[in-house]
Homo-oligomer: A and B are copies of this chain.
Amino acid sequence: MTPIADIARLGTPCLLLDEQRMSRNIARLSGRLLSLGVPLRPHLKTAKCLEVARQVMATQAGPAAVSTLKEAEQFAAAGVRDILYTVGITPDKLDRVVALRKTGVDLAIVVDNLQQALAVCAKARETHDPLPVLIEVDSDGHRSGVKVGDALLLALGQMLNCGGTELRGVMTHAGESYKCTGVRALEEAAERERQAAVRSAEILRAAGLPCSVVSVGSTPTALFARSLHGVTEVRAGVFVFFDLVMAGLGVCTVDDIAISVLATVIGHQLEKGWTIVDAGWTAMSRDRGTWNESENRGYGLVCDQAGQALSELILQETSQEHGIIRARTIGRGEELPVGSRVRILPNHACATSAQHDQYFVLDEHQRVTAIWPRFSGW
């Protein structure tokens, strides 16, 4: 593509997207899942961007996973037809679900308790729309979901199946995999996630209930699963961009991280070794994902304008529009004069992206070739 702007002319702070790295990240997971014979349902919550969605989805109609109904509506308006809304439904959101389904979108929803299931059944009967439902299973105690083996699973399955909805299957998310370090721990997390979903599906099927979908996924487990036997689809989101948390787990390297925040040096406090830039938490988010890891990267790892990591410099502190860069270890680190540019790799790609409303897309020569809008809200 033809360059449209010089990176040196961009106003700062702004969000850069290295398209080559993104394509490589997408190819890596796609190749992995192809070898395991399971399709990807990419989670569009990380990028919230149609252009990224089009590169990561198998077809222009999906499948896709979303975290908000606004994502579902936005991507549906662009032609996506197979969408899973992965956050447990609340009764008051069902009218929006029904309205979107009326436009021809196969939007499926998620429940993990009887109150939700009752509300979904009532809405299905009221609207004569057999709302497709997945039952969420808790594979690792991370957040939501029915415990594996809990009698609630069958109760939910039966209620949904005879209550006017389409019981489509089960889903789980191994959120605790974000705390695993090393190949073995990641492989084990993936296997626990697979077993929880497959076993739950077997319980439903053994009771004569339908369960065509067995959906699992998180970026770490998607990349480290050795078997996906019994699984029908894998969801993952952050793999598109990667971030320092993923690099800290060994899921990617720092060189795989596709987004960064471009910032300009405002000033210094030389006796403290501080370089002050115009990227604060409004640009980076307040996510301190790596604090629990052995290697503290503050609010991000500092690179030069071309994207080369400046060995020891991290974004140590942020306020609303100021960031303080300092050397991680003793010493002053590189000299960065006032007006010079740096790129800061984020702790958490989802959270940093969410602070911006557009991506400045870079080609392999670090030239800006496009500006891709992103949205937020609900």
Contacts and interface: CB of A to CB of B under 8 A. Distances in A.
Contacts of A319: 143, 175
A191 interface: no
Interface stretch (A28-36, A246-254, A320-328): A320-328
B87 A321 contact: yes
- Give chain A's interface secondary structure class: loop
B115 A337 contact: yes
B376 A282 contact: yes
A17 interface: no
Contact of A321 (B11, B67, B285, B286): B67
B144 A269 contact: yes
Interface residues on A, range: 35 or more
Most chain B beta-carbon neighbours within 10 Å: one of A89, A92, A324:
A92
Contacts of A92: 11-12, 264, 339
Contact of A115 (B89, B91, B287, B338): B338
A276 to B, nearest CB: 5
Interface in A318-359: 319-322, 324, 337-339, 348, 350-351, 354-357
Contact of A351 (B113, B281, B337, B356): B281
Given A11-B93, A286-B288, 14 more contacts: A11-B96, A11-B378, A87-B278, A88-B267, A88-B278, A90-B266, A113-B268, A113-B338, A116-B266, A116-B338, A144-B266, A144-B322, A281-B351, A282-B354
Interface of A: 11-14, 45, 67-68, 87-93, 96, 112-113, 115-116, 119, 138, 143-144, 175, 264-269, 276, 278, 281-283, 285-288, 319-322, 324, 337-339, 348, 350-351, 354-357, 376-378
